[in-house]
Amino acid sequence: MAMFILLTAGQADHVRGPSISTLAAALNPVEREGGVFVLGIDVLVDPSHETHRDFLLVLPRLDGSDPSFPETTVWAGA
């Protein structure tokens, strides 16, 4: 299962937005239950988001299959 970076609302605000180096890339941490925001660790190796790498590298991570991984907050029926 994939690993995810865990962020607070403030940390999510810090990284959210378009890439400064790549025209068609952006970060938008996804909110989960409990006010936790997540990003896949793939963003750490994406050159588009290099400016945020050092900031994201020191944040906690959790396996998506871990029972404590926060549930989704949004449901959209078809």
CB neighbours of 1 closer than 8 A, spacing ≥ 6? 63, 64, 65
Number of residues forming the site for other proteins (CB under 8 A): 28
CA distances from 20 to 8, 36, 38 (A): 22, 25, 21
Least Å distance between CB 58 and other proteins? 19
Q: Which of 11, 14, 25, 50 binds other proteins (CB under 8 A)?
A: 25
- Residue 52 interacts with other proteins (CB under 8 A): yes or no: no
Q: How far apart, in whole angstroms, are the C-alpha atoms of residue 16 and residue 76?
A: 23
Residues 4-23 within binding reach of other proteins (CB under 8 A): 4, 18, 22-23
Q: What is the binding site for other proteins (CB under 8 A)?
A: 2, 4, 18, 22-31, 38-40, 42-43, 46, 48-49, 64, 72, 74-78
